[in-house]
Amino acid sequence: MQLEKYKIDAHNNDLLSAHQRKLAFISSEIENSEAIIQKLVNFQIAIPSWALGTGGTRFGRFSGGGEPRSLEEKIEDVGLLHALNNSSGAISLHIPWDIPQNPQAIKVLAAQHGLRFDAVNSNTFQDQPGQEKTYKFGSLQNVNRDIRKQAIEHNIEVIKHGIELGSDSLTIWLSDGSCFPGQLNFRKAYQNTLESLEEIYAAIPDNWKLFLEYKAFEPNFYSTTVGDWGQSYSYVKKLGDKAFTLVDLGHHLPNANIEQIVALLLMEGKLGGFHFNDSKYGDDDLTAGAIKPYQLFLIFNELVDGMDARGMDHTKDLGWMIDASHNVKDPLEDLLQSVEAIMMSYAQALSVDRIALNKAQDENDVVAAQEILQNAFRTDVRPLVAEARLRAGAALNPVALYRNLKVRENLINERGAKAVSTGL
């Protein structure tokens, strides 16, 4: 389905005067609103190719229909999102779920939708049909050298796919670990994993980054070999300058102080990228900002502070991606909501009065510090985010326009009510 520009313009015209009223108010409240709008226009959040269909749990999956049946249709879906919000200008592929058969044609198609290819993701957490050796007891950590070799070769294969697409990073998430005490020698598992990662790292092109994602538990429930940020940091530090830690918000133990983790990884120059989602219990993969919006703001507060302290480019120097699942919502609507929540947190973080905050911290003025942060968090910055979209030619209210244009109904007509997304 193609989203014609005149439909976006008509939608924007209808909402324009109400929008301008709200924008005038917030611009009078926030001193640097013009600079914030510019940063929002430039900020892009990648969409994973595996999050365009209905998600599920081990208890079931309830499809809403019209899901993309091929990589081409997934690109078309991300193109729709990007047309609506102009903030989803990249797609991240999981291999082998989404192997491009004709990389050149796929690249052209993506470019037609204004998309580039974000990190490519390897998969050694599942056995694929026809695969020679099993990952039942891990991949890069495996006690069996041949299994480790198979997993290393898969990662190198993924890098090659990425090079063909113009991607410039590899994300490795390992489910490696153990389910029972005694199953694994922790030190040997670490050493095997490190050696395997070193071989993969040797295949990383000079202009690429390797992201090592950590996760506390699941599918292994006793130990995970890259279980937390400290473990990931210890690997990437040894690997070299092209290796970084990737933070997935759902991969921590309950109540972890993620904003502190982010601040320290940034300070060490080892924060590489993000997988955004939200959770109440475990790796729930819910819409970003749906459960703990204040935490999302606090994370962005550290991101902005830490990136600026290192003179980093907000748009390019970290990898931004959503990694969520949609069990009960239309996947595209859910992704629009996640992007909106991320943009709001980013805008709020940009509005923090840093000079006043530093002063309050230096004077141990706890109350003033809290006032400054909560004032930013409690300010409604939605008109700034909407204005950034308007200036970029996207929709003032993407979810409303998506519904008015009956995008899902159109996709169901085109693809069928039973169309099931390929991949996960």
Query: Which residues of the chain form contacts with ligand PSV (CB under 6 A)?
Result: 50, 121, 173, 213, 215, 248, 275, 283, 323, 424
Nearer to Mn ion, 326 or 408 (CB): 326
Q: Tell the smallest beta-carbon distance from residue 283 to Mn ion (Å).
A: 8
Nearer to Mn ion, 172 or 405 (CB): 172
Nearer to ligand PSV, 56 or 114 (CB): 56
Nearer to ligand PSV, 121 or 338 (CB): 121
C-beta of residue 113 within 8 angstroms of C-beta of residue 74 = no
Using CB distances below 5 to 8 A depending on partner kind, what does residue 283 bind out of Mn ion, ligand PSV, none? ligand PSV
Using CB distances below 5 to 8 A depending on partner kind, what does residue 113 bind out of ligand PSV, Mn ion, none? none
Nearer to ligand PSV, 77 or 98 (CB): 98
Q: Tell the smallest beta-carbon distance from residue 280 to ligand PSV (Å).
A: 16
Q: Tell the smallest beta-carbon distance from residue 321 to Mn ion (Å).
A: 8
Instruction: For residue 27, count CB atoms less than 10 angstroms from its CB and return exposed for 0-12, middle for 13-18, buried for 19 or more.
Output: middle
Three-state SS sequence of 410-423 = HHHHHHCCCCCCCC
| 66: alpha, beta or left? (left if phi > 0; alpha if psi -120 to 50) | left
Using CB distances below 5 to 8 A depending on partner kind, what does residue 168 bind out of ligand PSV, Mn ion, none? none
* Alpha-carbon dihedral 43, 47, 48, 53, rounded to 10 degrees: 160
Q: Tell the smallest beta-carbon distance from residue 92 to ligand PSV (Å).
A: 9
CA distance 228 to 224: 8
**Nearest CA to 92 among 200, 204, 173, 198?**
173
C-beta of residue 384 within 8 angstroms of C-beta of residue 22 = no
Q: Cβ contacts of residue 242 below 8 Å, gap of 6+? A: 201, 204, 206, 208, 209, 210
Minimal CB distance residue for ligand PSV: 173
Nearer to Mn ion, 248 or 340 (CB): 248
User: Using CB under 5 A as the criterion, which residues of the chain lie in contact with Mn ion when the complex forms?
Assistant: 248, 275, 323
Relative orientation angle of helices 103-112 and 71-85, to the nearest 10 degrees: 20
Using CB distances below 5 to 8 A depending on partner kind, what does residue 121 bind out of ligand PSV, Mn ion, none? ligand PSV
Q: Tell the smallest beta-carbon distance from residue 219 to ligand PSV (Å).
A: 9
Amino acid at 92: S
